[in-house]
Structure 1
């Protein structure tokens, strides 16, 4: 019996995991970055262009549209669903051109307007204002700008903010919890768990501020950016003003100087910022993974879940491992987008057409990673006893404050403080010290009584400087 051909099964089986296994986590991006969303955005741009030309009497003889007629046109966008997607696809099979198919689709809706609005509507007469003086890239660049802006501002950015707020809340909760630091993997000056989490939250917030301020540019200036068709058709119009007001009406920043394409520099800037956010988040995922492996964090078991097919005891940090992988995929895609979209041969090539169709996967894997990390953080508990035990096993970390106090005493004129670093190095390097060892050494140094008492009262757990106070910078 021949094997079932999976490609023939309906509904279609997803080729990639974002539209299959991970669909629930990224579904909101479909409204913004899918092929259907691109076509809906194109229709929206074409509709707004017709309305704009009529509202500003740009083309002599163009009628004014009533509020009902404008509502009808915008309703074509709002009602764009499964039937319309199929109809548009059928048109494109004939045109073999996606933007031309949109033009024909919208002209059909204008022709059908009398049935909805009455025979006195002027909409059938404005059919030739659809795609008037435009090149496909006029429509596409504006559509992508609207799509990416919507995806970032309505889906990705709120999810990223929620994640960073979650990290900041953990930092505040554990602001004063002492923890042995590890530099180069070796015991180092103690810190607090909250301060270390605050560092990551602070880094992530800085990237979010950059992303929040990124611009979304758009252009509308014809086949090679010269307004050639515009001025030939209607030489009396101020086409630069028409273009600027239209682009700004869409909520975008007007780019006045382009070739056939909008240069995509803003996209490169945005994708670079998002990729940098990804990489900081990757650092968080690897740090938390390491804290889990040390036992600083314990994972709360999910009832019924399996950590290993053979080892019943395991609770794997899979959320953070999945996040790492998704962040690497997302960043690689974003890097490619940022690097390739800024180049177009002479006045136009089509490399950006295929490239931009991968914006969705780039944001999808980042959004999935954000979901991974949020769920992972939500399943953690801290083991204060382990942190306390680690600190108590590493009294040698107090060599730093002792030699620093000796330096200060030497500057103040106290004798016998020579070579403080070297003396502490000899005492501690490669040796494990107990509390008694450290206190005995401090007592033998001849430090002023108040200094000696302060140092002898210090423990690794109390030697955290102002780490707890530093967490307050998250609320600056």
Structure 2
């Protein structure tokens, strides 16, 4: 088609945009970045819930751990007189060196940051930071001992191991135990509270609310035990894991023994065979266990959300709180919804870390450098979810009346009990017990069966007296087997 025959844009006012453009007219505004506003919610909206992780997994905490590792390596070498001319430090000197670590605060963070701008290398900046302080301690002559025979990864792998170990032990595990404790309390309190099961979303053999809570307690506590048993590995063996520089400087020293005792002194497990990097396998193992815990807890949150939606739980309103912005009758299950989302975010990061950290090209690449800086975010989303579960459980009240009514409307669930008793009677030689499953299927499938109809059916079967009496005494609320006892096994 010739260009001239194509429809041409109209120049009339009707063709002008429906909304005026704002391009080039945006008014001047204050810089949020300059105001120090955090980019992400963990350091903003939710900071109070995850702040304890800052002590272990922030950039400042990583640098403090680096100072810790460097100072302890310095003391370790002197204490064991590994190098010719070295002598053990005095108690005062060791205390003053360790004060470099304990005194590291806002001023130290700023100073270290300024040094790093010059070195453009984070670990080298730590080395210089310590070196600046040795003259005041009368140890200027030992400045070459700082970072002796180390590659950056010798310091980093140990610093991350210490940080992750303490974050798990002092923050994540207590939060996990607290959340699971709220489930345990409900399992105990509701051990005998009958509840209709809903296999495939349909009415099924009753249980108790406590027993269902106990299942999650049992599963989550298994994962907690796995996390508690985690090894945190470390190495300090040089640029390619061969102790080459160590032996070049002091060929007579037993460097593997020096390395092992140092790593163990830090409270870590020695990894004797590595490339330049500690292989990070222990991190992948740990993150898989935490992620598995998260997934089980996610399933719990989904179940609780669903129970709230059908009225099994009533949410205790918080004074002054808004449930819905437009529907005042609602109390949204926000705690469990928030937990679900944060568990998903945590697992996305944990799964990525676990997959990334176990690989390194040849003897070293730096893909782990950026990855490991997100460990705090990965655990932070999990800790936030745990906080929400703990708070959410405190705002739940079991709606026992609703549970009882639901059971009473579903007498057909006793069909399982009746046909199983009929099978037992047939084996015992009682006649008339043919096709028990099919007869109960005809009675119950697609039909609402009440208590009177179920009892009439039982009375017409010709059961032995004791078997008939057991079934006639049975109700959906009492057909819970050993659920109450099982609820106390957590």
TM range (shorter): over 0.9
Aligned to 1:175: 191
Aligned to 2:281: 265
Secondary structure class of the residue paired with 2:186: helix
Aligned to 2:88: 64
1:161 to 177, 183, 186: 177
Aligned to 2:119: 95
Indicate the structure (1 or 2) with the bigger Cα radius of gyration: 2
2:40 to 2, 8, 16: 16
Query: Quick check: 1:344 aligned with 2:368?
Result: no
CA distance in structure 2 between the aligned counterparts of 1:218 and 1:111, rounded to whole angstroms: 31
2:272 to 235, 250, 256: 256
Report the Cα offset of residue 3 of structure 1. 2.0
Q: Deviations over 1:277-321 (max 9, x none)?
A: 000110111111111111111000011100111111110000000
Unaligned runs of 5+ in 1: 114-120
CA distance in structure 2 between the aligned counterparts of 1:384 and 1:6, rounded to whole angstroms: 50
2:79 to 44, 55, 58: 55
Contact preservation (8 Å) 2:223, 2:289: yes
TM-score by length of 2: 0.94
Secondary structure class of the residue paired with 2:319: coil
CA distance in structure 2 between the aligned counterparts of 1:450 and 1:29, rounded to whole angstroms: 62
CA distance in structure 1 between the aligned counterparts of 2:432 and 2:479, rounded to whole angstroms: 25
Tell me the C-alpha RMSD between the 2 structures. 0.6
1:423 to 416, 425, 439: 439
CA distance in structure 1 between the aligned counterparts of 2:39 and 2:332, rounded to whole angstroms: 27
Report how many residues are paired: 464
Aligned to 2:143: 127
Query: 5 Å matches for 1:170-249?
Result: 170-249=186-265
Report the Cα offset of residue 151 of structure 1. 0.2
CA distance in structure 1 between the aligned counterparts of 2:478 and 2:34, rounded to whole angstroms: 66
TM-score by length of 1: 0.97
Aligned to 1:331: 347
1:82 to 82, 106, 119: 106
Secondary structure class of the residue paired with 1:324: helix
Secondary structure class of the residue paired with 1:112: helix
Report the Cα offset of residue 173 of structure 1. 0.3
CA distance in structure 2 between the aligned counterparts of 1:72 and 1:232, rounded to whole angstroms: 31
Secondary structure class of the residue paired with 1:337: helix
Q: Deviations over 1:174-230 (max 9, x none)?
A: 000000000011000000000000001111000000000011000010000000000
Query: Quick check: 1:41 aligned with 2:65?
Result: yes
CA distance in structure 1 between the aligned counterparts of 2:158 and 2:128, rounded to whole angstroms: 19
2:380 to 364, 371, 381: 364
Aligned to 1:432: 448
CA distance in structure 2 between the aligned counterparts of 1:8 and 1:57, rounded to whole angstroms: 50
- Name segments (4+ residues, structure 1) moved above 3 Å: none
Aligned to 2:306: 290
CA distance in structure 1 between the aligned counterparts of 2:54 and 2:458, rounded to whole angstroms: 65
Report the Cα offset of residue 360 of structure 1. 0.4
Report the Cα offset of residue 166 of structure 1. 1.4
Unaligned runs of 5+ in 2: 1-26
Aligned to 2:19: none
1:7 to 8, 29, 33: 33
